[in-house]
Amino acid sequence: MFQHDKKNKASQSLEEIYLKMTVGDTAQPPGYSTESPDAFTAPIDEEAAPETLEVLIEDDGMTAILRSRCRKPQAVLAKDILHLLATYGIVSGIDYEAVNRAALTLNKTGALPPNFVVAQGVPPAHADALVFPALEKRSDPRTGETLWFCGGRSLDFKALKAVMKAKQLQDIAGGSCVAMAATPFYPLATLKRHPGHNPGYNVYGLSSSSSDVILKDGANVHFDPADGSYKSTIYGYLHIEDNVISVLPPVWISPDQMSAYFVNLPQAGPAKAPTVDRLRQVLIMENIKNVCIQDEALKQLCEALERNETIPSTVLIASGLPPSPGMDAKLICFFDTTPRAGTVQKDDSVDLRERNLVVSVEKGKLLAEKHLPTQGTPGETLFGKKIKTADGIDNISLTTNENIQRETKEGLIRYYAKTNGNILFKDGLLAIVNVFRVSGDVDYSTGNIDVTTDLLVEGSVNSGFTVKSAGAIRIRGTAEPGATVIAKGDLIVEKGIVGDTTRVITLGNLQTSYIHDAEVIAKGDIVVQSYTANARIRCDGAVTVLRQSGSRQGGKIMGGRISASKGITACTVGSLANQNTVVALQNTPEDLLALSKLGKEIEACSENILKMTRTMQLSSLAAERIQALMAALPPERQEFFKKALVALNQFIKRREALQQEEIRMKEHMEYELGAATIRVSSAFIQGNIVQIGDCKLIVPEDTGPVVFQLKDGVITY
């Protein structure tokens, strides 16, 4: 086979080549002489190589053939042919007499004989030989590929290399590659020199020694020219590829450079077990830091291999130092921070004494500890590369009042009570407060009450009076007609809420005996011990109407509108005399308001987008349309147009984000409605109304125990 590709130009100049010529001929073309080498020393035009000629070179580089693509006489000089040979990198074995004949022939006929040789390499006189003491080299009769065997078992060096370069650890565990183990100073091969060896050379001037005996010493192999031996320098697995003999370290390193594993492969030939020192040598040569090497694992591994025990295909022998992130700030409270909603008794009544609404403490008591954030400890890979880590963050903002004593010690802040009182722990505030107490009714003798502490009213809140508290409120009596009660914490009205003009608001939970004609709003749950009648109730949590022992009206919802977000539970809904009762499940006002704001923002973005596209005369947002429009603008307006495009893009992205948020919120609200139920344990009277979201159902007939729920946009029961 021949090559057509040109090689790099020879290092020798053409003038030096010409001076070596000693051939001559009587017939010569113009400008050609055979009397002396001077005939070839005239200056050569770099463009003189004839385009009608080409050189074919055998794959082994030993023979160069000149061929003409023209069949007519050509004015070709010998120096032209030499220049052509030089462009192919041919510097040795040139037949100058053949070059002369070729020039004469081309000038006369334009054609050359087939296989016209113009350069010939010199083959080696005698070849060296390689001896492999533990290997057998064969040739595949079908493909001619070299096959290697050790102890009668085939060695697949490509598979071995793939195993050692596997990307995942499980890829190694799943392999079945057989390898030949090598130990330090073990002779892998020996080069036997022939006394009369002459390497020869090809037309490129390169040595033409037989390729089957050229063996380069690769990684972890040392060639000793004194005795011709190739010896391993480490413990590992033999690998031969492209006439390079090397030893692969038996170590696989994870992609994150945090773990190094010994790769235990089935061995061909006599098994060779490593020692601790030799494996440690391999790890150190791989630049793995000494601190990462697991000495005990190395010891156990080598002992197991020496005893020929069965071990896994991969064994962890070195580990990086993982980073340790800092701890975030942490607050530990030594008091109960979760108010209890009360305990439901067997008769469905609620024991309101089990509430821990107010937590009392004595002076000097340790209330809480704040553990300050700590710094993270950087990690380190097997190779000593630092791995950054995050320090802890102080995400706890805690303020105190004058009744709290702070002590800082060894990364801690301790909080002590400086006086007797009640704990207030809410919205990042830890305080000791006194409960404001009204010994009787709230009336003309007290006036309206507005306090920042918890409030206890021993009597009732009379008509026309208002009580407000930044904490919890407990009223032993009733909220009379026309009273107003506002609590930021939980609210308990022990004897009931009554009156068409009575207003009650709590941002916590509400517990009372009954609600008659009043309007009540609660952010938390509402528990009514007896009944509701013509009440207007809105609750973000759940409404529960219990049946109090001995009460004929117990557990009933009669008239009015009861609306909750998380569910309604009662014994009876409606009555024969009152068929205008509405029990409804609705999303929280906060969610409805947020959804409304999203809709308005989306509408505003759409209006801005429409205005900008009209101003910019964009009938389409396609890139081609925008590019065409910009290209038509004068240079002074293009910058303004680009800025307008940026602003337009911001509005579009903002609208897309808002639309995604709107979808997410609607899905959340639909899920909340679908999860809530209206449970009636005794009877639901016909003609009364169930409403869930926008769906409404007038119950057509009396029912027994029933559960109403929204499924696929329909109220089911």
Please report which confidence band the pLDDT of residue 353 belongs to, taking 50, 70 and 90 as the band edges: very low
**Average pLDDT score over residue span 450-477:** 90
**Average pLDDT score over residue span 603-625:** 82
Give the residue with greater pLDDT, 105 vs 46: 105
Looking at every residue in the chain, the average pLDDT score rounds to: 84
Tell me the percentage of the chain whose pLDDT exceeds 70. 86
**Average pLDDT score over residue span 199-217:** 72
- Given a cut of 60, whether residue 365 has pLDDT beyond it is yes
pLDDT at 39: 34
pLDDT at 666: 87
**Average pLDDT score over residue span 572-597:** 87
pLDDT at 449: 87
Please report which confidence band the pLDDT of residue 551 belongs to, taking 50, 70 and 90 as the band edges: low
Q: Which positions ≥6 away from 502 have C-beta within 8 Å?
A: 479, 480, 481, 482, 483, 484, 517, 518, 519
Contact 455, 471 (CB under 8 A): yes
- Given a cut of 60, whether residue 618 has pLDDT beyond it is yes
The most confident of 8-12, 347-351, 603-607, by mean pLDDT: 603-607
pLDDT at 287: 94
Tell whether the torsion through CA atoms of 69, 74, 78 and 83 is positive or negative.
Answer: negative
Token output for 148: 């290697």
Q: Which of 144-158, 209-223, 497-511, 660-674 has the lowest mean pLDDT?
A: 209-223
In 540-619, at which residue ranges do the beta strands (DSSP E only) sit? Answer: 542-545, 556-564, 567-573, 582-585
Token output for 517: 């004609």
**Average pLDDT score over residue span 561-586:** 90
- Given a cut of 60, whether residue 99 has pLDDT beyond it is yes
Domain boundaries, the chain: 2-120, 129-319, 330-430, 433-586
**Average pLDDT score over residue span 408-413:** 90
pLDDT at 211: 43
Note the pLDDT tens digit of each residue in 626-682: 777 877 888 878 888 888 888 888 988 999 999 998 889 888 888 888 889 999 999
Contact 557, 574 (CB under 8 A): yes
The most confident of 64-73, 242-251, 640-649, by mean pLDDT: 242-251
**Average pLDDT score over residue span 373-381:** 93
**Average pLDDT score over residue span 176-189:** 90
- 691: amino acid identity, one letter: Q
pLDDT at 47: 46
Phi, psi for residue 148 in degrees, rounded to 5: -120, 140
Q: Which of 349-358, 382-391, 636-645, 654-663 has the lowest mean pLDDT?
A: 349-358
Note the pLDDT tens digit of each residue in 252-302: 999 999 999 999 999 998 889 999 999 999 999 999 999 999 999 999 999
pLDDT at 23: 36
- Given a cut of 60, whether residue 381 has pLDDT beyond it is yes
- Given a cut of 90, whether residue 453 has pLDDT beyond it is no
pLDDT at 619: 73
Task: Report the interhelical angle of 96-108 vs 78-87 (nearest 10°).
Answer: 120
602-613 in b/e form (b: 16+ CB < 10 A) is beebeebbeebe
DSSP 203-238: TTS-B---GGG--EE-TTEEEETTTTEEEESSSEEE
Token output for 281: 């040598």
First to last CA, the chain: 89
Give the residue with greater pLDDT, 548 vs 69: 69
Please report which confidence band the pLDDT of residue 173 belongs to, taking 50, 70 and 90 as the band edges: low
3-state secondary structure of 286: coil
pLDDT at 11: 39
CA geometry: angle at 248 spanning 245 and 250, to 5°? 155
**Average pLDDT score over residue span 602-620:** 84
**Average pLDDT score over residue span 413-435:** 85
Please report which confidence band the pLDDT of residue 7 belongs to, taking 50, 70 and 90 as the band edges: very low
Give the residue with greater pLDDT, 5 vs 478: 478
Phi, psi for residue 301 in degrees, rounded to 5: -65, -50
- Given a cut of 80, whether residue 622 has pLDDT beyond it is no
pLDDT at 75: 87
pLDDT at 330: 94
Q: How many angstroms separate the CA atoms of 49 and 37, rounded?
A: 20
